[in-house]
Amino acid sequence: MTSTSKYLSAEERRAMAVKAVLELAAIQNPGEITTTEIAAHMGLSQGGIFRHFSSKDEIWRTVMEWVATELHSRVARAAESANSPIFSLEAMFMAHVAFAIEYPGVPRMLFGELPKTESTPAKIAVASLLERYGKLLTLKLEQGKSCGEVDCSISTEAAVALFVGTVQGLIIKAVLFGDVGHLRQGAPEAFALFRRAIRKSI
Amino acid sequence: MTSTSKYLSAEERRAMAVKAVLELAAIQNPGEITTTEIAAHMGLSQGGIFRHFSSKDEIWRTVMEWVATELHSRVARAAESANSPIFSLEAMFMAHVAFAIEYPGVPRMLFGELPKTESTPAKIAVASLLERYGKLLTLKLEQGKSCGEVDCSISTEAAVALFVGTVQGLIIKAVLFGDVGHLRQGAPEAFALFRRAIRKSI
DNA sequence: CCAAAGAAAGCAATTGATAACTTTCATTGG
DNA sequence: CCAATGAAAGTTATCAATTGCTTTCTTTGG
């Protein structure tokens, strides 16, 4: 099991690279991570990286794809775990926040991608993630309207935007002050307010 | 009146540099703006820039300070223009959104600053802006509680975070899809939901 | 009033640093 | 033996900042 061989397989190295980037992004500006640093962090020479990735851009794409897949699967699993639309939304909210706490480098990476004007592969991955995420939220909100947990008069689209914005607002604050505590502490209160915004008025 | 002189004063050049950076940031990744581009955009040679700024960092600091001052003064003016706390909040919300529409490069600049771990002058400017902004919001929310427009049972701090997060969520969406239309259209609906979140329940 | 001095603004070329990527050659394991 | 893996040294490009020199504006002494 414990491979004592010096040479690792290409797949192992690619997985190591993703992990290395995530760890480095947690402690420094992701935009300033160099291939030299990534290589050093995974016990490889700088040039050795290019045996497994054709370019630095391909490394980023791989990392972003891992993030999109992982976050979506966690949020989707959270959505299924609850037995009412509102509780599903709450579980999704908390799963998203928990992911940001577990991988503090990820929001920093995403914010770094935002300013780019070109449609980078990374940006496309984020946009597609946000779309799938939005569809899941739309479904839960519509279900909520059906069963009377959510007010039918509100715009579902606006509620989706508010949900995502609420999470992002918390994350931005945490990133800005470099303090994940803001996230853990603020999340329940933030969701409570979101719930007030969408609940059925009497 | 129309200065036909070839050499401009240091103050004029500094103001031109701020304008140039804002315009360039609107169409490209702010992090990739070079001193060569800034200089070219203001009709100056690359080296000429350094007659008026001691470093590229000083240029950024100057731009960020302009942004913080301008945005805060606009939001504060909007807050004063309305005659009830809720309407003040709405005016502030719209003023913030309008600013982001007028200077689309600004959010991109700010998002680009977020990933940096060091406390850059720019990041400090953003944090201080956010703090003053938060105080203004806190004041209005407390006034709203006093006059019965805002529910007393909600956390003011959480409401501030929700307000800021809502605006940021709208802006992120606009930046991600490169479409300012999202902002104009989504803003009224977004504020309507925020209002539902903080209003007094019957 | 006005020329000379010098301060300020500007350009063009250069420097030094750093990054991604390439090439060459040694080593490993099947 | 040989193909895959990796290290080390190189290549090319880019960018901020500096330097030496020229041009323009301003001030001042006679």
Q: Smallest Cβ distance to B194: which of A164, A173, A197?
A: A197
Per-residue confidence (pLDDT) for residue B58, from 0 to 100: 95
Average pLDDT per 10 consecutive residues for chain B, totaling 202 residues: 69 95 96 97 96 95 95 97 97 98 95 86 84 96 97 96 95 89 93 96 76
* CA pair distance A6, A154, nearest whole angstrom: 60
| Residues of chain A positioned with their CB less than 8 A from the CB of B155 | 189, 193
CA B29 to mean position of chain CA atoms: 17
User: Exposure of A202 by Cβ count < 10 A (0-12 exposed, 13-18 middle, 19+ buried)?
Assistant: exposed
Per-residue confidence (pLDDT) for residue B103, from 0 to 100: 97
List pLDDT tens digits, range A145-186: 999 999 999 999 999 999 999 999 999 999 988 888 889 999
In the DSSP assignment, the letter for residue A51 is G
- How many Å lie between the alpha carbon of B164 and the closest alpha carbon of chain A? 7
Residue A121 has pLDDT above 80, yes or no: no
For chain A, where are the E strands, in sequence order? none
Return the exposure string of B98-119: e unless at least 16 CB atoms fall within 10 Å of the residue's CB, then b. ebbeebbbbbbbbbbbbbbeee
In the DSSP assignment, the letter for residue B45 is -
Per-residue confidence (pLDDT) for residue A106, from 0 to 100: 96
State the Cα angle at A122 between B168 and A98, rounded to 5°: 55
B165 shares contact with chain A (CB less than 8 Å)? yes
Helix A105-113 × helix A56-81 angle, to 10°: 120
Which has more pLDDT, B123 or A13? Answer: A13
- The answer to whether A172 contacts B114, with C-beta atoms less than 8 Å apart, is yes
Per-residue confidence (pLDDT) for residue B182, from 0 to 100: 84
Q: What is the Cβ-side half-sphere exposure of residue A56, based on CA atoms within 13 angstroms?
A: 13
